[in-house]
Structure 1
């Protein structure tokens, strides 16, 4: 009954409102609607929405946020398909009104996704909406579902073979959309970093707190979309073709940040790491617009060139550009790995920094445990002290499972299959003149004191 009443009110003629529009109080009625939405009284709120849409379309952009919440709820709650269709159509109209009254706020993008999901428009109609939105405001085109839909519909056109799309045009479109994924990830990361900084000195708005909370999930979704796009596009070109396409256009586009972003993303995502055009473009992009992503990419590309010194420099830059402690810790883990066979004191330093930054990750402790095991070949240790160092490795490995319980099986396997066999025997302990509770102080890069446990 409530659905029927809501529909009657929602889609009834609003001619009566026109006559009394001058008496309609936008601020008062908007506040009533806002209170209803906050209280989740959507059945009541839906009856207020038509008048506000008619008489106060430009009063506040929040009208469209609240309207979206109301109509999505009503569509999902509708029991009859025809009722659901009516609410979804009203939602599509709401998005169009949002775009008209608050341009470039994503109304048409959301409308296109909705029309496609609900089969309320043809693929060509949906594609045209997305294409126009992307051309008009690429900075606002960050919704991962819209980006993936845009590419999938373009691929469908290309595969149909009747749209006159050349391979070069396909590569350019692919790179533009892949670049948009990278742009969106950078946007999410930058905004999240700004809010994390703000959080240290100010109380965030609910929407800002929600953005931080959802940032990691959104980034993962964008990662998945980027991977899906690359996998689907890879059927139509290879690294040689990509490199030829971009190297031929590089000089005239080398100062175009959007083009560089698209090019670098396309080559990197397709694992074309031998491409000099990729490295040159990544350097130019980082110089013009340094981000965590560009610095981390250059770190990996430097490793590919076996330039470990440069890799460490770029990974440190990436860490400095990252506000999220978990990602910063992962970058320190990468630096520790680079130093593993170069400078174990530095490797240990960065592992400890990673462990301190992200106490819920066990990765750094597993790395340190293996690092201690490798010390048996250096530091001028006696045979007993070399074997005793295994106790430190076991103690460190166990910290990994405390930090991250999923490593429990891994740690147990390491100890039983590798570490236990390297421990001193009771006879070796006795011959050393030491006993349970005695300490061994290690210098060199290890710089730790071990208390001998019971055998």
Structure 2
């Protein structure tokens, strides 16, 4: 009997605990729901006018959101950034720190929704633009952002500022020249990586256009964005080269590397970079030969084979050069560097008049580096030079220039560094192509011309 009573008491206690727990949970859920409802109202008082760019109406509510609902929505800080940028643009420098804080809040409350490299580089750029901190502190901020998340550190402006600060520290005697060279290689490679990605996407859309398909509205916007960003990266690449300036010219490089050669002659990484820099500047020095031979002895690689190919070319040993370049292309894993090797091979074939082989290697270069506009331009030149041998009539021969024009136009669109020359070439080819009166008199409007020479393919005559 006692045993039964104890069992009943235990059951009653368990029911009581369960009831109290349910009541607590109910009150807790109501409290959370109430808090969320309050945050919806609090946030809307700030966000709604901010959406309409009525920042004077939005600003008084911003602090309330930050104090009471800081982690409710990332939209708080996204609109806050727009708001503070507006005030700064209007001349209110007191909002600079608020802008920085808005980005810091994003990282604090929404670490999984932001891109650290992009956000940190934005903060670093704001500090630089507003002269906050020393040059060393500014550089360290960019350096931290890049090393923490290189993938999303993509701003052309910030990449330039990052390198520019390093060069400035060198000029002030606070950074070693080799550190500047190393950062130059890193930044340049990053820019080329972004260019390749953008040009690859752009080329797909250009090919779609060329095939006669109409781009969707979204594709049209993306095409314009890709072209705009490629121009920005091309500009920055030129600016980075300019900023490096005379410290990377042959008169400075040769004594520097001559001094350091003995100490670094067994360092494969140093040899690759140093030989690469001497080669990029076309420095005529026996030191280059020494570096290349030493590099090939220590570690036969894509780079050493490539440099041996260059030396063979200079000695007019075209067959040896081709063998070395082919070895290099097979061993190379970096797409941009592989493209350079294929370009060298293509150039050798082009200069010997083997246009078909040259084009195949230019295309291999473009497969690896779609932003290599010079390859399109070289193909255009070969087309134009072959016009007399491609066609049975004067009209058909002149029509080859339309193909050359297409290649030159593509060069201008994927590569800002070749854009000026490419546009000039395109204009020249357009003038050589059949005119509207030619098309009318030959009754060729809308017809397709097929080429049976090495060029192959076809071109559609424009409609009048």
**What do the CA deviations read for 1:159-191 (whole angstroms, capped 9, x no partner)?**
334xxx4xxx51232123213313422552565
Deviates more, 1:392-401 or 1:338-347: 392-401
Deviates more, 1:397-406 or 1:338-347: 397-406
Q: Does 1:241 align with 2:241?
A: no
Offset of 1:38 from its aligned partner?
5.7
- Where does structure 1 lack aligned partners over 5 or more consecutive residues? 1-20, 288-293, 323-327, 376-384, 416-440, 450-455
1:178 aligns to what?
184
- Tell me how far apart the structure 2 counterparts of residues 251 and 51 of structure 1 sit (CA, whole Å): 63
Within 5 Å, give how 1:12-91 maps onto structure 2. Answer: 40-58=53-71, 63-76=76-89, 78=90, 81=91, 84-91=92-99
Aligned-partner SS, 1:119: coil
Match of 1:410 among 408, 428, 434: 428
Match of 1:226 among 195, 218, 240: 240
Offset of 1:85 from its aligned partner?
0.7
Cα 1:414–1:442 shift into 2, 3 Å: closer
Within 5 Å, give how 1:101-140 maps onto structure 2. Answer: 101=109, 102=111, 104-134=116-146, 136-137=148-149
1:428 aligns to what?
none
Offset of 1:220 from its aligned partner?
1.3
- Tell me how far apart the structure 1 counterparts of residues 219 and 432 of structure 2 sit (CA, whole Å): 47
Contact 1:335–1:350 (8 Å) recurs in 2:
yes
Matched residues, number = 363
Q: Which has the higher contact order (CA 8 A, sep 6+)?
A: 2
Within 5 Å, give how 1:203-222 maps onto structure 2. Answer: 212=226, 214-222=228-236
Contact 2:383–2:455 (8 Å) recurs in 1:
no
TM-score normalised by structure 2 residue count? 0.54
Cα 1:395–1:333 shift into 2, 3 Å: farther
Contact 2:121–2:158 (8 Å) recurs in 1:
yes
Contact 2:355–2:382 (8 Å) recurs in 1:
no
1:397 aligns to what?
401
Cα RMSD after superposing both structures:
6.0
Contact 1:34–1:66 (8 Å) recurs in 2:
yes
Cα 1:176–1:371 shift into 2, 3 Å: same
Contact 1:175–1:262 (8 Å) recurs in 2:
no
Aligned-partner SS, 2:131: coil
Match of 1:343 among 328, 338, 354: 354
Contact 2:253–2:278 (8 Å) recurs in 1:
no
2:164 aligns to what?
152
**What do the CA deviations read for 1:120-161 (whole angstroms, capped 9, x no partner)?**
444354344334445555555443333433443344343334
Contact 1:333–1:351 (8 Å) recurs in 2:
yes
Offset of 1:227 from its aligned partner?
0.9
TM-score normalised by structure 1 residue count? 0.55
Between Structure 1 and Structure 2, whose CA radius of gyration is higher?
A: 2
- Tell me how far apart the structure 2 counterparts of residues 320 and 246 of structure 1 sit (CA, whole Å): 26
**What do the CA deviations read for 1:357-408 (whole angstroms, capped 9, x no partner)?**
99xx7753432232466x7xxxxxxxxx9x9898865442354347747436
